[in-house]
Chains A and B, each alone.
Chain A
Amino acid sequence: MGVTIQVEGLTKRFGSMTAVDGISFAMEEHEFFSLVGPSGCGKTTTLRCVAGLETADEGRIGIKGTVVYASAERIDVPTHERAIGMVFQNYAVWPHMNVFDNVAYPLRLKRASRTEQQRRVGHVLEMLGMEALAKRKPSQLSGGQQQRVALGRALVGEPDVLLLDEPLSNLDAKLREHMRVELKRIQRETGIPILYVTHDQLEALAMSDRIAVMNEGSIHQVASPIEIYERPATKFVLDFIGSVNYLPGELLRVGVDTVDLRVAGGATLTLPRPSFVPEAREILLAVRPEDLVLGESVPGSDLRARVELRSFLGNLCEYRLRCQGHELRVQTGKEELVPEGTDVVVGVRRGYLLERAAAQDATARAS
């Protein structure tokens, strides 16, 4: 297994603002690797440094064994000499060229013969289901079609890696879902490694082989989607990926398999012991909505709450509960609808523990 992209100690500053703060990661061959985080976390800057569109201040970047940037050795390969393909958020399809010419452009720069261009562009357009539109101008295309042109242009030169900068964020919800599957299919077909930037955690979970969660210029965790969701490394990851309820409490006893705690106004809970248990007595219990069971008792781990708001979401139903002054979010199937204002029992299946004093800090350990 070779390494596609190797980033070591990458730092990029804009004036006094440090956008990327010494991050490192390595992408495997054929991997779909996502950088995910809120806007301003440095994910796009990282991608642009890999592309060479921004010049990093410190660190090393390697693409398929070639060092394209190294601050120590003063190596900085210009963008157009890096073996990359990139898709921009706004597609950046050239309005003065038709679909064929847009896609053929990288081949033309490599002085590919006319027949070679025809063959390879034809192949890419076919893969994208765009062969009938080859002569169209971009202004005659829908957003989704422009997106495919941009993708085709990035793929046609058979680059070492595909860089995607929030490519789906300008599409409507339905099309976005479709393109998600499409992108994954294309990656399987071509085997091309993809470095993908998104702020949409669902997108990252659904598509990636591995995810790097970023915040304020640092990487908090690099792991598979399941790992990220189930065992978030920090409070930030826990917060950012999926949703979570917080209840302040006290740690009473730490056993081999279980922990006992008292939360929110006196209820005592016995929960499976999480992988991280803080030293402190004052803790914060974090519970995913799906780990709360509405109207069903979990022996030894029940809370009492009142239904404040009910939102019907089609495939499921979401509730806002009030439990001793704390808000809880719970989701249930649509079969068992509980009316607003009802007092209910809420079972807690499992949760994460955070040190309460440290919980202000997003980098606090979560599991």
Chain B
Amino acid sequence: MTALRRLDSRLVFFVLIAAFVLVIVVYPLVQVFLRSLLVDGSWSLRNYEAVFGRPRNYIALWNSVWVSLAATALATVIGTLAAFVVQRTDVPLKTLLRFMLILPFAIPPLFAAMGWVQLAGPVGLLTQAWKSLTGAATAPWTIYGAGGIIFVLGITKYPFVFITVAGALQRMDASLEEAARTSGAGTGRIMRDITLPLVRPAILGGALLAFVSCIDNFGIPAVLGLRVQFQVLTTRIYEALTIPDLPLATAMSMLLVVLAGIAVWLLGKFEGRRGEHAIIGGKSIRPHIIRLRGARPWVALALFAAAIVIVVLPVFALLVTAIQPYYGAPLNPETITMRNFEAVLNSSAAQRGIRNSLTLAPIAATILVIVTALLAYLNVKAKVRGAKLLDGIGMVPFALPGSVIGVGMILAWSNPPIGPTLYGTLWILLVAYLMRYMAYGLRSCRASLMQIHDSLEEAASTSGASRLRTMRDVTLPLMRPGMIAAWVLIFMSAYHELTVSALIWSARNETVGVWIFVMQDSGFPGRASALAIAILPIILIMFMITQWLSADRSAI
């Protein structure tokens, strides 16, 4: 009897979650796929012909590929070098340095792009400084166009590489390097023959994550590319939807899916090969630390300077722009004004944006944490058949460019066969965030459940605890840090989301990210910066919580 009831409750949960995953993830994707092949109700490849028939479309595709590759290369070099220095040398202030080096994760890409325009644009702070220093009429660089996009993408996405490589270096068994040393290899040889080959999968893995994230990005190419007619797929989809040419946007979304799909397929191959590198654990010995000797302060200085240029300068520029009377005004403490803050914070659209984002983000985070914790439990602990498949489907949006999710939302919820038309309401944003961030919850909950050895729960049942009691007393408390981390991460990401929101927002249903972009795009960089500065503290606090939580968890 009890066995039957237990089976039932699991089945009920499984069916509910399956329905959730089908509606939130599968349905919009199927829509994108089918509609890209449908023209006036019949099967056709005409939508794809439209992509490849017009240069501005296929050039956008090509631009997406090469700009992302170049930005990934930049991110890989920065990330790998930084990881080696932090993990393998005696550079001082490591903890602070590590924190500063992952801080770009906390700065929304849109803010970075705006900041860099204000630093290196035609009237930017650096540009002005350069001009007054050299007397030249123009700066020898331009932030607009491919170069600027590659640069800003590279310096915002390198933490993907930094984190994976630093992790691999930390986990790497020190005796593998020592064995080379006792075989007669010097430090340089060891790096070349042992260390680099062993962390290569991590470098490639991090690079692919960075690539997918570059392909996905909308804010940076929108701010730095649209003005000079330099288009990538995400900005082209955005334009196509303003016309609106939905079939074209749909076909281009499918191309994004293909690009991301290739990257994920490669990632899977490298991660699979990483398993080959599983190493029997021995005594844990500190890895060999390279003494920088005299170079020590200089290396530290260089890294801190780089971190400051990457993280602090753009935010500083935003701040300067926000408190200036007009954009490009010379720096002058006497002209500091709060006008931009007053203007933007008193506008009803910005107020609605803040309120909407502060409503949507916690709701999405809460729903997702509950659903994904249940799904992870069914998958990892209850081992319900089919739960693994659901988990796999839920992970798909992780690699899915936001534009695809946006187009999928429009197609799925404009005139759905059943259910309400969500397009044009606030709730389409919620559904979109549920799709986009489901993987965040799954990953975190799955990982924390897998760390709970089955014997911990078995010990509770053999002590006389019922299944429910075991879950309450053992499983849930041990899962809690993972669930909290997922919640904060989803909240933070959804709070300043732009790529998807920019495609599906509607009048009176603004989000704060969208409104900053609209202000920037319509020529009010001062107000955009003021709004960005106003919401940055909450993002930074959330980010610090995620860092603190993950440090706390790895200590267990």
Contacts and interface: CB of A to CB of B under 8 A. Distances in A.
Contacts of A137: 276
B186 interface: yes
Given A44-B283, A90-B281, A95 B179 contact: no
Contacts of A106: 183-184
Interface stretch (A23-31, A149-157, A180-188, A269-277): A149-157
Given A109-B189, A137-B276, A92 B184 contact: no
Given A80-B186, A88-B282, A94 B179 contact: yes
Contact of A96 (B173, B182, B277): B277
Contacts of A78: 186
Given A90-B282, A96-B277, A109 B173 contact: no
Contacts of A249: none
Given A90-B282, A170-B282, A157 B176 contact: no
Contact of A80 (B184, B194, B276, B280): B184
A94 B176 contact: yes
B80 to A, nearest CB: 17
A109 B186 CA distance: 9
A95 B189 CA distance: 17
Interface in B173-188: 173, 175-176, 178-186
A94 B281 contact: no
B181 A92 contact: no
Contacts of A96: 197-198, 277
A126 B181 CA distance: 25
Interface in A40-62: 44, 51-53
B179 A153 contact: yes
A38 interface: no
B282 A80 contact: no
Contacts of A80: 181-186, 189
A95 B279 CA distance: 8
Nearest to A81: B184
A79 interface: yes
A88 B185 contact: no
B49 interface: no
B278 A139 contact: yes
Contact of B182 (A85, A95, A143): A85
Nearest to A85: B182
A163 B194 CA distance: 21
A95 B280 contact: no
Contacts of A92: 173, 175-176, 178-179, 282
Given A139-B278, A170-B282, A163 B182 contact: yes
A260 B363 CA distance: 86
A88 B277 contact: no
Given A90-B280, A95-B277, A137-B276, A109 B184 contact: yes
B454 interface: no
A53 B182 contact: yes
A229 interface: no
Given A96-B197, A105-B193, A109-B189, A90 B279 contact: yes
A92 B278 CA distance: 11
Contacts of A44: 283
B477 to A, nearest CB: 33
Contacts of A110: 184
A84 interface: yes
A95 B193 contact: no
Contacts of A51: 178, 182
A76 to B, nearest CB: 13
Interface in A90-149: 90-96, 105-106, 109-110, 137, 139, 143, 146
A69 to B, nearest CB: 15
A140 to B, nearest CB: 9
A139 to B, nearest CB: 5
Contacts of B280: 90-91, 143, 146, 170
Nearest to B186: A80
A139 B184 contact: no
A201 interface: no
B281 to A, nearest CB: 6
B178 A88 contact: yes
Nearest to B196: A96
Interface in B159-180: 173, 175-176, 178-180
14 contacts: A51-B178, A80-B182, A85-B182, A88-B175, A88-B178, A88-B282, A90-B175, A90-B280, A92-B175, A95-B276, A95-B279, A150-B179, A154-B182, A157-B183
Given A79-B178, A90-B173, 13 more contacts: A53-B182, A82-B182, A86-B178, A86-B179, A86-B182, A89-B282, A89-B283, A94-B176, A95-B278, A109-B184, A109-B189, A150-B179, A154-B183
Interface of B: 173, 175-176, 178-186, 189, 193-194, 197-198, 276-283
